[in-house]
Amino acid sequence: MSKVNPVLVVGAGPIGLVIACELLGQGVPVRIVDAERDHSAHSRATTIWPRPLELLRRIGVADRLVDSGHRIQGVAYYSDRRHLATAWLNRLEDTPYPFAVGLPQDRTEELLEQRLAELGGKVERGVRLETLDATGPCARAVLALPDGLTEEIEADWVVGADGAHSTVRKELGLGFEGSKLPINFAITDAELSGEIPADLVSYCYTAAGGLGLAPVSPGVHRIAVAVPPEMAGATPTRAFFQQVVSERAPGGVEVGELRFSTVFQVHVRSAPSFRRGRAFLAGDAAHLMSPAGGQGMNTGLLDAANLGWKLAGVLRGTLDEAILDSYDAERRPAVHTVTRSTSLQTRWGALTKPAQLALRDTAVRAAGRTGVLQRTLAPAIGQLTSGYRGPTARRASLGGPKAVPGDRLPLLLGAEPVRTGAPWTRITGRSYAVLLHPGRTRPADWRRTCAAIRTAVGDAAEVIEAPTHPAGPLTRALGRHPLAAVVRPDGHLHTTLTDLTPTTVLTALARARREPLPGAALT
């Protein structure tokens, strides 16, 4: 029995790679294994939304993904080939990434694995988890090696990021509750030519069924078509996709050569807990959702970011182990919110009755004209509304913070060089930070207040003085009055303090590091 590393990550898809990079970036050794010897033959996920990009910046890979990918400016909705409305990502004002990135998953994995290597890590391919016992003071596992031998190991913690058929989940004895939706999707990646926008995801609804077109690269789109159950197991041809696109997409669109073609049934499932003993589940190992909206991998990336900083802090000795309880408490409700949304969108696109279609189209047009679509749907698509509010969280009085504990703050995360000219406030995300917010008008004694807090905190936390910007995103989030905000490494608000004394700030920091559950306000 050997103990190789504090953490064993099972699964080297995007989720496992991000968790490994999170840990290695903070000096925590990781062993990452994957049963497959090579990457997937074709791409599964193709779109990375704004919030995951923000979080991926913490591990130094977001801008590489942007440079390698294809920018998507919004999501357009059509009915019977007529435009209904568009939710514009490029009009979002409180994110440094007001766009999505179209990128094949294999390329995403390649860039993440490059970053892993830079941090000193390496994927052990062809290594399969056979058994796992996570009930003791250490997790005990048996690995099957490529040469036919087995290895018994111990690890402080195990992360199962090994997909929908997760061995980790099965070894933990956790179920995978849920159901199949009564709908199948035929998907392919193919070159498209014609009038379809190259920088928009397009959802095209008709009484015959739905069609989704998502840019993957210039000229290449992911095509997803709702198909009847009898097509299960089929390999749709180019002629099939051409016929559907001609019937449902706006304008004259030609489908080129297919990169691959398959049909799958939609499953909506979730483990009853994302943690058992010394092991955690993340990504598809923990939850499956409809591909409508392209949120599956993105939701898993948020799992990875949430778990990574907590696990790293515990292993570095800077956070109390009780904080690991908050992973399941925070992520499961957040996942269920996204799952409900994607399931609704799937059913919404499958409506066939004239009265239902008319009601849907009228609602979408009205939401587009009134700005509701832009104010509510565009941030939700970008996962910018994903947060961890406690059940009793309330907004402060008039003029106070709009954000409450658990909410995401509009910050630039990570230590990467700044490539935007906008005045984004930056935190490294290595530990909790103290953000000193001057409000709309900087108080006369502000410099002295900031200096006293900075001196008292010392090396215990990063102390950031936010710029005065009366109409900026931070002012909109934190209000017009001066305050100190204790911010989590993932950019979510832990608490706000109006008593700007060093003692109060130090007390808040100490409590943050030992906070077992999210959304708890200081008393």
Residue where a domain terminates, one of 343, 362, 391: 343
Q: How far apart are CA 213 and CA 211, in angstroms?
A: 7
Please state the φ and ψ torsions of residue 446, each to the nearest 5 degrees.
Answer: -65, -45
- Same structural domain, 417 and 479: yes
Per-residue pLDDT reduced to its tens digit, 327-336:
999 999 999 9
- Same structural domain, 242 and 283: no
- Same structural domain, 18 and 129: yes
Let me know if residue 389 belongs to a domain: no
Let me know if residue 29 belongs to a domain: yes
Per-residue pLDDT reduced to its tens digit, 254-293:
999 999 999 988 889 999 999 999 999 999 999 999 887 8
- Same structural domain, 224 and 283: no
Per-residue pLDDT reduced to its tens digit, 314-351:
999 999 999 999 999 999 999 999 988 888 787 777 77
Residue where a domain terminates, one of 232, 267, 302: 267
Residue where a domain terminates, one of 343, 360, 395: 343
Let me know if residue 148 belongs to a domain: yes
- Same structural domain, 451 and 477: yes
Domain range spanning residue 248?
178-267
Q: How far apart are CA 7 and CA 446, in angstroms?
A: 44
- Same structural domain, 201 and 152: no
CATH number (domain holding residue 252): 3.30.9.10
Q: How far apart are CA 523 and CA 519, in angstroms?
A: 13
CATH number (domain holding residue 438): 3.40.30.10
- Same structural domain, 225 and 203: yes
* Whether pLDDT at 8 is above 60: yes
H helix runs in 392-445, sequence order = none
CATH number (domain holding residue 152): 3.50.50.60
Name which residue leads in pLDDT, 1 or 461. Answer: 461
* Whether pLDDT at 42 is above 60: no
- Same structural domain, 246 and 200: yes
User: Quick one: pLDDT at residue 401?
Assistant: 78
* Whether pLDDT at 151 is above 70: yes
Let me know if residue 508 belongs to a domain: yes
Residue pair 96/129 in contact by the 8 Å Cβ criterion = no
* Whether pLDDT at 516 is above 80: no
- Same structural domain, 117 and 228: no
Let me know if residue 92 belongs to a domain: no
- Same structural domain, 330 and 453: no
Could you tell me the pLDDT band of residue 353, with boundaries at 50, 70 and 90?
Answer: confident
Let me know if residue 391 belongs to a domain: no
DSSP string, 134-152: -SSSSEEEEEE-TTS-EEE
Q: How many domains are there within the chain?
A: 3
Across 88-117, average pLDDT: 95
Pairing of strands 139-144, 253-270: unpaired
Across 452-478, average pLDDT: 89
Residue pair 373/364 in contact by the 8 Å Cβ criterion = yes
Per-residue pLDDT reduced to its tens digit, 231-253:
888 899 999 999 999 999 988 89
- Same structural domain, 35 and 130: yes
- Same structural domain, 18 and 125: yes
Let me know if residue 60 belongs to a domain: no
Dihedral over Cα of 442, 444, 448, 449: its sign: negative
Let me know if residue 367 belongs to a domain: no
* Whether pLDDT at 408 is above 70: yes
Burial per residue of 52-83, b for 16 or more beta-carbon CB atoms within 10 angstroms, e otherwise:
bbbbbbbbbbbbbbbeebbbbbbbbbbbeeee
